[in-house]
Chains A and B, each alone.
Chain A
Amino acid sequence: MKGWQAASLAEIEDLPGPGTLRWTPVRRHFDVRAFGVNAYTAQEAGQDVVEEHSEQTLGHEELYVVVAGHARFTLDGEEVDAPAGTLVYIRDPTVRRAAVAQGAGTTVLALGGKPGEPYVVSGWEFWFAATAKGQAGDHDAAIAEIDAGFEHHPDHPMLFYQRACWEALAGRSEAALDDLGRAVELGGETFREWAGEDEDLDSIRADARFPG
């Protein structure tokens, strides 16, 4: 494999969501392994460029660079105006963070990693990609995305849970029940509760093995 690559942000295939944002999976495109890096774009003002989340699970620091347009960040309830050229560095992983575009085409580059530890490809990349493909109707592609995630995280309960959902939607009941059981085994009560209310799993809910 060639030791370097170039591409413009617009050339990398973007994927929808979560929410109203468009995700440009920069890290995946180049297979960057030393840190996380993604770009997010809003097609219209008012759309998300960063979905509301914290980094509590991963413990990542994040640096957002507003590359184009104009965003408004909300950090633990505090609003921050962020025109192009603004750097928003969030050291504390517990901070709730989100950003909304103030103009069409607003683009934010996000870099992340955990200080003091080697970077590991985040599991969410795989279920975000699976969601984009599954919601476009390609359940097999969604399952393949999750499968790729297991190469990095063989015991990730969320990957088992997400695969169970796509398998259930694809009519593969046996595989779905196995994966759901594994998700609850690894992830505990939270996953049992989610399963109780998740419509994606309706096709397997009547089975005796469904976690009650």
Chain B
Amino acid sequence: MSERWVVRRLEDVGDFVDEERARWFPIRIELGIGAFGVNAWRATEAGQELIEEHDEVGGGAGRHEELYLVLSGRATFTVDGETVDAPAGKLVFVGDPTLKRAARAEEPSTTILVAGGKRGEAFSISPWERNSEGLRFFATQEYDRAVEFFERAHREDPSQAGVLYNLACAESLSGRVDDALGHLARAIELQPSFREAAQTDADLDSIRADARFPGSL
């Protein structure tokens, strides 16, 4: 990441393909940007969810201001219960991190660019994005690399329950039963909602029969 500049076509950013979902272009990650968050999403078909409903104060969010720009196609945004028709060239700025926002594609190939950062603070990577980077190793079944990734993320910020949960999943999938059980217990301690998620998560199948597995309450 020492190049003075990087030139890339959007098409060439990211190779994480999930047929069920919109394509994610992890621009910040691939270019190594440090001052703000920036990603793009492209729908594979009309009607697809492009920006899942979220606010910027939840567990995975960074309390960011967000600016969306429709690069191509046409989307419908819903912000704080209001809908906005958004053809190419439309900007939607959500400054209040507590507002719910979502977008759906009205045309195939609709592409949305989104930039974000937290007012008054130096940029830091949102937990969801940090996790997503590691989740790519699940898709390619490189579980050892996933473990390595989430161990590092955990060392950097031990308070992130999502990181611990993903670490437990990666360890479960790579046969590290004791580590997986320990990290899962810690994730649930920090964020109790992970207890229910753990009951049905296939990534944890290999440790569910263990007596130490946290059962449903």
Contacts and interface: CB of A to CB of B under 8 A. Distances in A.
Interface string A57-88: 00011010101000001011000101001111
A3 B34 contact: no
A91 B117 contact: no
Given A67-B69, A76-B4, 4 more contacts: A4-B92, A9-B89, A33-B120, A65-B10
Interface residues of B, number: 51
Most chain A C-beta atoms within 10 Å of own C-beta, residue among B7, B9, B119: B7
A111 B38 CA distance: 9
Given A32-B65, A32-B67, A34-B116, A91 B89 contact: no
Contacts of A65: 10, 71, 113
Given A87-B27, A111-B115, A113-B123, A5 B93 contact: yes
B150 interface: no
A63 B31 contact: yes
A89 B79 CA distance: 30
A132 interface: no
Given A111-B38, A118-B121, A91 B5 contact: yes
A90 B5 contact: yes
29 contacts: A3-B80, A4-B80, A4-B94, A4-B96, A6-B92, A8-B90, A8-B91, A32-B67, A32-B93, A32-B95, A33-B65, A33-B120, A34-B116, A34-B123, A37-B115, A61-B35, A63-B33, A65-B71, A67-B69, A67-B71, A86-B7, A86-B9, A87-B31, A88-B5, A88-B6, A91-B6, A113-B123, A115-B34, A118-B120
Contacts of B115: 35, 37, 111
A118 B122 contact: yes
B99 interface: yes
A73 B35 CA distance: 22
B197 to A, nearest CB: 30
- A-B complex: 10 closest residue pairs judged by Cβ atoms: A3-B96, A34-B117, A113-B35, A115-B34, A92-B4, A30-B93, A35-B36, A89-B31, A33-B119, A4-B94
B101 interface: yes
Contacts, number: 155
A15 to B, nearest CB: 17
A94 B5 CA distance: 11
A157 interface: no
B36 A34 contact: yes
A116 B35 CA distance: 7
B145 to A, nearest CB: 25
Interface in B47-67: 64-65, 67
Interface in A1-35: 3-10, 12, 26, 30-35
Nearest to B71: A67
A197 interface: no
Interface of B: 1, 3-11, 13, 27, 31-36, 38, 64-65, 67, 69, 71, 77, 79-80, 84, 86-87, 89-96, 98-99, 101, 113, 115-123
A76 B7 CA distance: 14
B90 A6 contact: yes
A134 interface: no
A149 to B, nearest CB: 19
Contacts of A111: 36, 38, 115
Given A34-B117, A35-B35, A67-B69, A4 B99 contact: yes
